[in-house]
Amino acid sequence: MTSIRTNISATAALATLRTIDGQMDRSQTEVSSGLRVNTAADNAAYWSIATTMRSDSKALSAARDALGIGAAMVDVTYEGMSTMVNLMSEFKAKLVLAKEPSADRDEINTELSQLQSQMRSVAYSASFNGQNWLAMTDDNWTGFVKDRTVPGYIVRNGEGFSVGTVKVLDAIDANLGGTAQMYPLVDDTGGAATGGMGILTNSGYSQELGTGTNWVILHTLGNPNPALGTEIKVSADTSADDIDDMISVTEAALSDVVRWTAKLGSAETRISMQQDFVSKLGDAIDSGVGRLVDADMEDASSRTKALQTQRQLAIQSLQIADSEPQTILSLFQ
């Protein structure tokens, strides 16, 4: 039956065209965005997982940047300590030379003074981003009583999200010997106990060795009290025993500098390994998110072309259906 009021064929063709247009919109959005899951409406479960993991990936990227800053700080400190090992080795060699009866001790003392000035300069110059781990002053001493850590990784578990840290060095320990954990090179803070936390300014080495004078490689600037240590110097009147004591104190201090330099070297290696791991982890997360929500562009392209063809056919079908009522006019001619 043909009706001029209800064109069932046109209605069916129009419904088909609307369905194809909807599919075309989704397909074109997929092609233009590169995502098959672009909104929660596309796939709520995948969208939720992808959104959470993208957030974690950004946090991991920030942790990687922070780890890079920490690595730079460790690198600067390590270079300062390595330089100090060389300076102290040269310092010890000059003291050994001073034991030679024919040596010009005044000239040697001038060289020792130059080395001492360079040691303090190195300690104060080893700064990065406003931090210095080698020279302790009244302005930065609080940093030395805490563990030196840098953000290194993120953790998501049933209890939520947290940022983990990588410990570079332990908090300061005022004890000498095998229990010493961490020292600055120079302690120039004020107060009665000034100098005691710095390897170069600490008279504890002399006290442990039982030397007649409390020799220190550098006198502290915070409280230049002779009772806190006597800075190593040589002259024509310096006895051979005193020089031997100076060499022993320098050797003991150098041993701690070498030990701490080794710790920093180990920290450098660990941070480098952590950087590589965090970088690979970030790539793995991005790849996992891509598997969930990225569009298959070849499939999307083929589907779009097929839908374009279907749309053309649907339009032709609608045109044919719309032309059917025109045939009724011929019945009345």
User: What tens digit of pLDDT does each residue of 252-305 get?
Assistant: 999 999 988 988 888 888 888 888 888 888 888 888 888 888 777 777 777 778
Q: How far apart are CA 333 and CA 331, in angstroms?
A: 6
Strands (E), the chain: 127-128, 131-132, 135-136, 148-157, 160-169, 186-187, 215-216, 230-231
Q: Hunting for tokens 């300014």 — which residue is that?
A: 201
Is 180's pLDDT higher than 70?
no
Average pLDDT, the chain: 83
Residues 142-146 have a mean pLDDT of 82
Phi-psi region of 160 (alpha: psi -120 to 50; beta: other; left: phi over 0): left
For residue 31, what pLDDT is reported?
A: 75
Report yes or no: 186 and 202 within 8 Å, Cβ to Cβ. Answer: no
SS percent in the chain: helix, strand, coil, step 5:
60, 10, 30
- 105 pLDDT band, cuts 50/70/90, is very high
- Which has the higher per-residue pLDDT, 193 or 16? 16
- 173 pLDDT band, cuts 50/70/90, is low
Q: How far apart are CA 96 and CA 328, in angstroms?
A: 123
Q: At what angle do helices 44-98 and 105-125 cross, to 10 degrees?
A: 170
Is 4's pLDDT higher than 80?
no
- Which has the higher per-residue pLDDT, 75 or 175? 75
* SS3 per residue for 188-207: CCCCCCCCCCCCCCCCHHHH
> What does DSSP assign to residue 217?
S
Beta-carbon contacts of 162 under 8 Å, excluding residues fewer than 6 positions away, are: 154, 155, 156
- Which has the higher per-residue pLDDT, 319 or 241? 241
Residues 223-244 have a mean pLDDT of 87
Coil/strand/helix, residue 38: coil
Lowest-pLDDT choice from 159-163, 199-203, 241-245, 317-321? 159-163
Residues 133-154 have a mean pLDDT of 83
In angstroms, the Cα distances linking 3 to 136, 170, 324, 333 are 98, 91, 9, 18
For residue 270, what pLDDT is reported?
A: 83
Is 112's pLDDT higher than 90?
yes
